[in-house]
Copies of this chain bind each other. A is one copy, B any other.
Amino acid sequence: MRILQSKSIANQVDEILLERIRGGVYLPGSRIPSESELSDELGVSRATVRTALAKLAANGFILRKQGDGTYVNEHIHETSAHFGNLWDLAELIAGNGYQPSIRFLSMERRPATEKEALVLALEEGEELICLRRLFYADQQAVILADNVIPFSLLCEPIEKIDGKLHIRDIFEQYFHQKISFVLTDIRSTVLEADAHEFLSGESGRAILQLQTIFYEKNNLPLALGVNIFDDSFLHLSLAQAWN
């Protein structure tokens, strides 16, 4: 059993602060405690707090003003996704104000297609695990999510896989891998037959497709995900800081 390195202190601070912003402890538009106060409260150095705040600022969660303070972005509630979690579908749904849930549809083993082999740096025909899941917003099916992962990466018996887990946790628990970064392609397409079976809306309407490649820290591709959803129901909005 491989040991996964624990998160860095700065990333833990980042998560704590993000949780407070999302949870309403720090309200939109309000000023959050100063760097010194946070470093005292959390028992870490000011440098570490600054590292965490820099990341939050880069992702548009907070605005920093020299000589004044750090403020929570007023428009947080208007954005459904953020740069750290464009591929986090549950958060995308939550960001739209719905209660997310996941329904496991199917899991199968099959050889990789030419395109999949190319993207995942495999030989054509190598075996893949195909995971098909459906994301719900409250009771409404909204996102059809397909993930393909090389079978050779699997560390645990395939029967143990819990199809309702977060993709990040699936990798940690069954593949002993950490996702280091992702590459997402956003496309406009139309609702076709196979997806129409699961998602509501008239066939032929314009929908969004998020095609995501997951990588681990050494640039090795871990998985390919294709997620489609109706953007008239679920909005994809992003905040970004400039400067």
Contacts and interface: CB of A to CB of B under 8 A. Distances in A.
Interface in A169-224: 178-190, 206-208, 215, 217, 219
A83 B59 contact: yes
A239 B51 contact: no
B217 A189 contact: no
Interface in A229-243: 231, 235-243
Interface residues on A, range: 35 or more
Binding site of A, secondary structure by majority: helix, strand, loop or mixed? mixed
A84 interface: yes
B243 A11 contact: yes
A40 interface: no
Contact of A238 (B54, B86, B215): B86
B60 A58 contact: no
A74 interface: yes
A167 to B, nearest CB: 11
Interface of A: 7, 11, 29, 47, 50-51, 54-55, 58-60, 63, 65, 73-75, 78-79, 83-84, 86-87, 168, 178-190, 206-208, 215, 217, 219, 231, 235-243
